[in-house]
Structure 1
Amino acid sequence: MRTHFCGLIDESLVGQTVTLCGWADVARDLGGLCFIDLRDHEGIVQIVAEPSDAPGNGAVLATAARVGYEDCLRVTGRVRRRQSVNAKIRTGQVEVVATAIEVLNKAEPLPFHAHENAGEDIRLKYRYLDLRTPKMQRMLRTRIRLVQALRRWLDARGFQDIETPILTKATPEGARDFLVPARMHPGEFYALPQSPQLFKQILMVAGFDRYYQIARCFRDEALRADRQLEFTQLDMEFAWVDEQIVQDTTEALIRDVFREVMGVELADPFPRMTWAEAMRRYGSDKPDLRIALELVDVADLVKDCGFKVFADWASAEGGRVAALRIPGGAALSRKQIDEYAAHAAKFGSKGLAYAKLDEAGAVNSPIAKFFDEAAFAALLQATGAGKGDLVFFGAGPYRTVSDFMGAVRLKAGKDFGLVGAGWKPLWVTDFPMFEWDEEEQRYVALHHPFTAPAVDDEADLRANAATAVSRGYDMVLNGNEIGGGSIRIHRSAMQSAVFELLGIGAEEARAKFGFLLDALKYGAPPHGGIAFGIDRIAALMAGTDSIRDVIAFPKTTSAQCLLTDAPSPIPDPQLAEVHVAVRKTPESENPGSR
């Protein structure tokens, strides 16, 4: 049907006859002279229909004059050099003089124009039109090149691509499972996997040594710009390894893939930082190192001040008082400062104190009255504040203060143009083993229940659970966690001890994880691994803030597929086949109501 792709026509084809297929991106009738920008997945080339004495040329001109936006065409013509070069496109040195134009399918008026800034809802409803656009073609092709590069690298180094089940067993940890009724087992359900975690560990027990999979995973959780109900990850597992081996290998993988796909050289080696240091300096376990701003602990300087909030938290066990200097921040109005306080409140803040230093060095601060002049000067000096700067202060529980001050740091970095250029990778290590959940009054795993603790003795872990450190590690890039992993528990006794500390009793552990506990008894080797978020890495490479832009058919933030109108009701007879009945809930109680 065609001899060449539109976007690959170049000067080497001048004088040759080509046949092209594509969509009319732009059609211009200048009265006896027509221009059509013909587009396919490789790009655009200019088609010219002009007067000539050639037989049938009148029909060519007549057809060209009727071509509309997004009409599906086949064009045959001769390649020649353009008189007016278009340097903005790859084919801008040449054009195709049409000798035949066939309209393969006439397009009706479109719901939106590719060159408009259409809203996301209409783009997702007509996703096939959205995906035709050069922008979305570039986004998806970036993702394709990423996956191809990952596979080539892993295949060349002896990793084995092994598929794990999609229909599996529900587990009590992590996000909510998607449940699938089992027709042949009335009243019982499969779950869609949140990750291949347990299967890949069992593959290590089975002796496969180096596994990988481009895995589809599912989590029934709230959506946002960097999260979907279904997502894709590069899943990896290694036997007979420690943290350094996993980190060195996967760091080389990411470095080589960025070089191949993006032409980017990442740091070698990646810097490393403990979780405790990351939280102390940046208020985040995935700090964006492109922003040079850092938090400063000032508890020692405020514990005897007259401001009760500061003094109390400075003296409290587990409390924190932190400051953040924003260069040039004194230019913020009171309304803008209040907007920062509102932003911090989303992350747990109950108040954001501040101090401004004008260009003359005079201080404007609601909390200055609680300090003597020398003490407040020392406090500002500790933050490095100078003329024209603003300092924000936060007080409260250590983790809460870290979270909301970290959020303020990110906002200030963006608002004040303090985000540096380039790529800043980082390993974050030595995560806490557990977090205490006040609501459930039990420990929860910071990574997952299969992460090994830094100690080898179960009694030691039980005695020091509150301060236990795990052998977990995350790879961070420009403030995004792109990969997370750990060395796994490979002894059944330690796994049982961790379940116990997480409030998973022996009976429940046997019911949910008996197959894993059994496997660990039969000579399970030391092993570990990591999973990389394909969607998130592709979005970073493509330069977009939303992973929806690099997923062909994503869900909206309300968990809908607007293209297919999913989810949708199922008829009662079909539900009866899988032994399920639907309990109707009031519209106001339905979180997914439209």
Structure 2
Amino acid sequence: MAESMVGLKRTHRCTEVSAANIGETVTVMGWVQTRRNLGALIFVDLRDRSGILQILFDENTVGSEGFKKAYGIRNEYVIAVVGKVQKRSGAVNENLKTGDIEVVAEQIRVLSESETPPFPIEENINTKEDLRLKYRCLDLRRPDLQSNIMMRSKVATLTRAFLANEGFLEIETPMLTKSTPEGARDYLVPSRIHPGKFYALPQSPQLFKQMLMCSGYDRYMQIARCFRDEDLRADRQPEFTQIDMELSFVDVDDVIDVNERLLAYLFKEVLDIDVALPIQRMTWQEAMDRFGSDKPDLRFGMELKNITELVKNCGFGVFTSAIENGGTVRGINAKGQGAMPRKKIDALVDFAKGYGAKGLAYIAIHEDGSLKSSFAKFMTDEEMQAIVTAMDGQAGDLLLFAADRNKIVWNVLGALRVELAGQMGLLDKNEYKFLWVTEFPQFEWSDEENRFVAMHHPFTMPMDEDLDQLETNPGAVRAKAYDIVLNGTEIGGGSVRIHQADVQARMFKALGMSDEVANEKFGFLLDAFKYGVPPHAGLAYGLDRLVMLMAKCDSIRDVIAFPKVKDASCLLTNAPDVVDAKQLEELSIAIEEEQEV
């Protein structure tokens, strides 16, 4: 039966007790991790968020009633113990922070009993994730998950302190706002007071933080909740958290400077890792040409090589037809993989097809220098040797090629190099490689909408030297946009914003947006811009992604207390779920049942 803790006050968390407390009486509280009954003695490992402390129950010190309670406790019971700290009676446990001491119990209270948990409360268990998420409150007791959540808290606290010291003001922006569907889908919230009308949950605080710059607040920050109704991946959630900021009277270098110092501060304080500054910069074009990705992983090489000129007149139709249609032929060199079995190569071909490739050509270089290739019969020996030389092919290497439009070739080889790096053990989670990717395209072509769309958002400033091409050649316009990339993951992105009304009007026109549509969607921002707007720029980090990488996790679900699963549902609360008809009626919402065909 559960007892009250009246009259008891915890003096220490478990690992706050140390050899310095030997001889002192302490009061500790927590969960029973394990219990070992040795007859006359009972040992309990007591756990709280700080770690584990060994408790020794001896009938001579705790009394017969207390010893009986200790005998009856089980894993995950919540107990309070009053006792004296002593040097550990048995062998020292080097794996525990408190491994050289123990507490000899003088009093025990069982504050709460526990049923047998559906899985062990231990680090790195192999329990299926769905079961862990259903019982998330138990899952969150595991020391590795608690460590992640505490790291997240520390990152947020340090970020606030650093940015406050840099002159940033923390200002909250609205959760219920206007739908501006220029990016991902909005989550909509029906209004009871305004029937038939809807708020949207913010995809980001973008427009509000720009208006704060118009209002003269100079430097804004917020650890902001954001919502996007999009398909999930390992590093995406329908609701997520941004470290959001905006600065006035700055350009690209100013934003990069403060953020490099922020990252260096966080990694030193949290992980004791020195981030070398300045962080390397690379233009978007260079990143795509060398790595096939605008978020390249620099922990390994395997860079793309463009062999288009070399093979434009060869006898292999796959290469020549791609080039004739305006595409390119590029390849990567998987060093030391020349002996890869055909079955694994075929699996790589299937992998490449998943990224839009029609196929994948290859050359395997045997240890004796001879070649095995999927397209050698279409080529002369001289052409084959020229390709091998261009690819820096050595004995034992595997060369892989894609031929298509640039976008497809980049996607295929960019993904393939990361896949191969994983197979080859080149992805070291203890290594942190940062990169700024700059000068993104201002626009990208949407086949679905048959028009140019903003690669970032409509308020991103074009490069000054490209402004004259906004109307005549929008595809060539570069943006004053920048992403911060860590180990192949984009952890943050931002841009210099347009602050001139004439440039903003030209931008909307390039996007095929009339003045009427622009005013309907963004009128409140454009009105604010009529009354004096400073040059400004900003950046937002994905806090979840950043902590995921710092904690060396594979999924952001392991650094979020209560995450959703891939279909955006919550296994713990069973959300989303049906609601009462009365609630729908108040919101003027009717749900139509699907008609069976």
| TM-score between the two structures when normalised by the length of structure 1 | 0.96
Percent identity over paired residues: 49
Deviations 1:373-406 (CA, angstroms, capped at 9, x unpaired): 0111010110011111100000100011001101
Bigger shift: residues 515-524 or 156-165: 515-524
Residue 539 (1) aligns with residue 548 (2): yes
Residue 217 (1) aligns with residue 226 (2): yes
Equivalent residue, structure 2, for 1:431: 440
Equivalent residue, structure 2, for 1:293: 302
**Cα 1:525–1:456 shift into 2, 3 Å:** farther
Equivalent residue, structure 1, for 2:322: 313
Equivalent residue, structure 2, for 1:341: 349
CA contact (8 A) 2:466 2:478 kept: no
Equivalent residue, structure 2, for 1:407: 415
Equivalent residue, structure 2, for 1:190: 199
Distance 2:535 2:570 in 1: 42
Residue 168 (1) aligns with residue 174 (2): no
State how 1:363-512 maps to structure 2 within 5 Å.
Answer: 363-420=371-428, 421-455=430-464, 460-512=469-521
Superposition deviation, residue 459 in structure 1? 5.6
Equivalent residue, structure 1, for 2:72: 66
Superposition deviation, residue 117 in structure 1? 2.0
Equivalent residue, structure 2, for 1:4: 12
CA contact (8 A) 2:357 2:409 kept: yes
Aligned counterpart for 1:100 among listed residues 95, 103, 107 = 107
Letter in 2 for 1:84: A
CA contact (8 A) 2:170 2:221 kept: yes
Distance 1:495 1:192 in 2: 25
Equivalent residue, structure 2, for 1:88: 95
Deviations 1:530-570 (CA, angstroms, capped at 9, x unpaired): 00110111111111011111111110111111111100011
Question: Aligned pairs, how many?
Answer: 585
Q: Which runs of 5+ in 2 are unaligned?
A: 1-8
Bigger shift: residues 61-70 or 144-153: 61-70
Distance 2:415 2:153 in 1: 33
Distance 2:49 2:113 in 1: 19
**Cα 1:457–1:339 shift into 2, 3 Å:** closer
CA contact (8 A) 2:466 2:477 kept: no
Superposition deviation, residue 500 in structure 1? 2.1
Equivalent residue, structure 2, for 1:591: none
SS at match of 1:431: coil
Deviations 1:304-345 (CA, angstroms, capped at 9, x unpaired): 11111101223433x111010001111211111111111111
Deviations 1:432-486 (CA, angstroms, capped at 9, x unpaired): 0101111210111111111111137866311120111111000011111111000
Superposition deviation, residue 586 in structure 1? 6.5
CA contact (8 A) 1:164 1:196 kept: yes
Letter in 2 for 1:36: V
Letter in 2 for 1:435: E
Letter in 1 for 2:179: A
CA contact (8 A) 2:136 2:572 kept: yes
Q: Which runs of 5+ in 1 are unaligned?
A: 589-594
SS at match of 2:570: coil
Superposition deviation, residue 14 in structure 1? 0.6
Superposition deviation, residue 372 in structure 1? 0.5
Superposition deviation, residue 48 in structure 1? 0.9
Letter in 1 for 2:158: A
Superposition CA RMSD, Å: 1.4
Aligned counterpart for 2:121 among listed residues 106, 114, 117 = 114
CA contact (8 A) 2:86 2:104 kept: yes
Equivalent residue, structure 2, for 1:592: none
Deviations 1:256-276 (CA, angstroms, capped at 9, x unpaired): 111111111112110110000
SS at match of 2:471: helix
Superposition deviation, residue 365 in structure 1? 0.5
Letter in 1 for 2:414: G
Bigger shift: residues 494-503 or 118-127: 494-503
Superposition deviation, residue 212 in structure 1? 0.6
SS at match of 1:462: coil
Letter in 1 for 2:105: A
Deviations 1:89-133 (CA, angstroms, capped at 9, x unpaired): 100010011111211111011121113421111111111111111
Distance 2:595 2:163 in 1: 51
Equivalent residue, structure 1, for 2:187: 178
CA contact (8 A) 2:121 2:142 kept: yes
CA contact (8 A) 1:348 1:400 kept: yes
**Cα 1:587–1:12 shift into 2, 3 Å:** farther
Residue 28 (1) aligns with residue 33 (2): no
| TM-score between the two structures when normalised by the length of structure 2 | 0.96
Letter in 1 for 2:322: W
Distance 1:454 1:392 in 2: 36
Equivalent residue, structure 1, for 2:3: none
Equivalent residue, structure 2, for 1:331: 339
**Cα 1:14–1:181 shift into 2, 3 Å:** same
CA contact (8 A) 1:267 1:424 kept: no
SS at match of 1:150: helix
Letter in 1 for 2:135: Y
Residue 276 (1) aligns with residue 298 (2): no
Distance 1:432 1:500 in 2: 17
Distance 1:587 1:525 in 2: 57
Letter in 2 for 1:489: I
Residue 362 (1) aligns with residue 370 (2): yes
Deviations 1:26-76 (CA, angstroms, capped at 9, x unpaired): 011122221100001111000111242x5x622222211111010010111
Equivalent residue, structure 2, for 1:584: 593
**Cα 1:396–1:186 shift into 2, 3 Å:** same
Superposition deviation, residue 506 in structure 1? 2.0
Letter in 1 for 2:239: E
Distance 1:75 1:51 in 2: 14
SS at match of 1:234: strand
Distance 1:276 1:585 in 2: 48
Aligned counterpart for 1:304 among listed residues 313, 329, 333 = 313
Residue 76 (1) aligns with residue 82 (2): yes
Letter in 2 for 1:380: V
